Amino acid sequence: METKTIIITRKIQLLIDSEDAEVVKEAKAQLYQWQNICFKAANMIISHQFIQEQVKDFFYLTEDIKLKLSDKKKDEDGILTLSKEGTTYHVLASHFKGRVPMNMMANLNHSLLSYFSKEKAAYWKGEKSLRNYKKNIPIPFSGRSITKFTLTPDGRNYRFKLFKIPFRTYLGRDRSDKKIVMDRLRTGALQLRASHLQITQGKVFLLATIQMEKAQHELDPTVIAEASLSIEHPVVVKIGKYSYTIGSKEEFLHRRLAIQAAIYRVKKGASFNRGGHGRKRKMKSLDDYKQQEKRYVDYKLHVYSRMLINFCIKHNAATLLLVNQQAKEELAKEDHFLLQNWSYYSLKEKISYKAVKAGIQLIVE
């Protein structure tokens, strides 16, 4: 049965809600400490779960010996004193209780076990390596951990507390639906699910995970939209006698190739840049151009995918078919220019997300 809800994530910048510089400094130090503990805990969880799955290889077994990774109290063949999730939570509690809110550890444990269960079959086949978590891992927490959710006096941002740390949102010139979503969270119209705090280059972001209802459109199951992705025209869509071209090769590549040319020039001159802080200062201009290219491509793909879904909604198409997409992706792997300059996978992901949100079924041919 098709679900009527969708999970969305919104990235929102946060500031420590205090005018006292010392309070801000202590709060950020606390966040970095929690992030470091989450980094250690994540790798500990994965290591313990992997060893549990491999425990049979540590024994010389006869046929009459049975070992099962389950709670011995519930299964006579079980070898664990707790459930699989309980074992790693108990390990985390023994190492980190009192140093970090255990709500973080519980959410981290639950989410990583979910990933591990989905991927373990690929581990045994050698198709995927065991996950290795880095120090910039997001900090997980449950939605109910946020308290005292209120508007700021100017009515443009929101205040709340998370584990006794006061935060304030910084929405800036919000052109998306972030303010609408935050206001619905404040009034209780939407519920915040398990979310994360992300610390990037000294800035703190809330990765808010929200469950909301899909948009309701009057779509006709008999109407099928056929779309083709290519370098000549980013998207060409056809519904019956109607055809629509979204973007062009010149329009998309002109700016991107100009940025790439600038990156090439800056890279050649980087060795002559003034130093002072090692690589970071010398390569700053190069990193800025790379981020500019990334933002440009991301923006363009969002525009193309939105225009495609709007066209489907306008003509009541309940199904969207991406024609010959898998063959094109294989061809792109052999063409260096296509591989470097045309983001098939990213565009397909954005189309998929917007299609699900609109209630349109996506089929990749």
Please write the tens of the pLDDT for every residue from 156-174.
Answer: 888 889 888 999 888 877 6
- When mean pLDDT is compared over 147-161, 210-224, 247-261, 316-330, the highest value belongs to 147-161
Both tokens of 34, joined, read 């929690």
Q: How far is Cα 270 from Cα 288, in angstroms, rounded to an integer?
A: 13
Sign of the Cα pseudo-torsion (118, 124, 125, 127, in order): positive
Residues 113 and 52 sit within 8 Å (Cβ to Cβ): no
Q: Work out the average pLDDT over 229-255.
A: 80
Within 76-192, residue ranges assigned H as helices are: 84-96, 102-125, 178-187
Please write the tens of the pLDDT for every residue from 277-327.
Answer: 666 666 777 778 778 888 888 888 888 888 888 888 888 888 888 877 666
Please write the tens of the pLDDT for every residue from 327-358.
Answer: 666 665 665 555 566 676 788 888 888 888 88
Nearest Cα to Cα of residue 119 among 184, 180, 35, 49: 49
220-364 is classed CATH 3.40.50? no
Q: How far is Cα 92 from Cα 102, in angstroms, rounded to an integer?
A: 9
Q: What's this model's pTM, rounded to 2 decimal places?
A: 0.71
% of residues, the chain, pLDDT over 70: 82
Domain boundaries, the chain: 5-21+138-213, 31-125, 220-364
